[in-house]
A = this chain, B = another copy of it.
Amino acid sequence: MEIQIMKKVLAANDAWAQENRRFLLEKSICMFNVIGSPGAGKTTFLERTIDELKKDFRVGVIEGDIATTTDAKRIQKKGVPVYQINTGTACHLDANLINAALLELTKKNQFDIIFVENIGNLVCPAEFDIGEIAKIAILSVTEGDDKVQKYPLLFTVAHTVIINKMDLLKYTNFKVKSVLKDCKKFSSRSVVFQLDSLSGTGFSKWVEFIKKFKK
């Protein structure tokens, strides 16, 4: 019974995801779905990315959190439109929630790029298509180098992998080579960036990449 219901939930979600894709294409907006553990550095990554992009692109953010508006407030300080979704107990964002957020955000603003910061969770967000052009997985070196193997779905469906908090690498036993190998194993197409969102180490390659993605 549970499997049947899950299938129905995912089918309903896919219909909304399809509608979001149509809507985004019509408006020529690239939407990225940023997924990582709690504390992987998703918001800090977005703050710095916005700083780098906002001169040339109209950027917007959809913030997903169980509770609080902390992240939306941080993004707001960067001077870009942001929409906060509080899911209460739901551990992922679905395409229906994103549809409502997109309609609201685009009422008054036009965008080139919208980033969705999903709920901090490596499991369920990977299962739900929200109509994004690409999923960006963020993994920080302080989480350990076994995470790609232990959460294979995300690293199979992610187009881009960010290895974050590289400045802390020397204080950990995280093996970058082993993670790169695992990333390749689960998705031969994925692009991996090694950077530190707080200090900006290695950030320029990522910025160059995302700029080309949109152009």
- 12 new A-B contacts, CB < 8 A, other than A142-B142, A142-B165, A168-B168, are A37-B39, A38-B143, A38-B147, A38-B150, A39-B142, A66-B153, A67-B149, A70-B149, A89-B153, A91-B91, A91-B123, A124-B124
Verify A68–B165 contact, CB threshold 8 A: no
- CA of A150 to CA of B66, assembled, Å: 6
Question: Which residues 99-121 of A have a CB within 8 angstroms of B?
Answer: 119-121
Interface flags, A151-169, vs B, CB<8A=1, else 0? 1110000000000010110
A65 within 8 A of B: yes
Verify A147–B67 contact, CB threshold 8 A: no
- Min CB distance A96 to B, Å, is 12
Question: Which residues 122-158 of A have a CB within 8 angstroms of B?
Answer: 122-124, 127, 140, 142-144, 146-147, 149-153
* Contact residues in B for A167 (Cβ distance below 8 Å): 171
- CA of A119 to CA of B153, assembled, Å: 14
* Contact residues in B for A142 (Cβ distance below 8 Å): 39, 140, 142-143, 165, 168
A9 within 8 A of B: yes
- CA of A196 to CA of B66, assembled, Å: 28
- Min CB distance A37 to B, Å, is 5
- Min CB distance A45 to B, Å, is 12
* Contact residues in B for A39 (Cβ distance below 8 Å): 37, 140, 142-144, 147
Beta-carbon nearest neighbor of A44 in chain B: B144
Pairs across A and B, CB under 8 Å, 6 listed: A37-B39, A37-B120, A37-B143, A38-B143, A68-B149, A91-B121
- CA of A58 to CA of B46, assembled, Å: 47
* Contact residues in B for A144 (Cβ distance below 8 Å): 39
- Min CB distance A151 to B, Å, is 6
* Contact residues in B for A121 (Cβ distance below 8 Å): 91, 121-123
Pick from B2, B70, B120: contact of A122, CB under 8 Å: B120
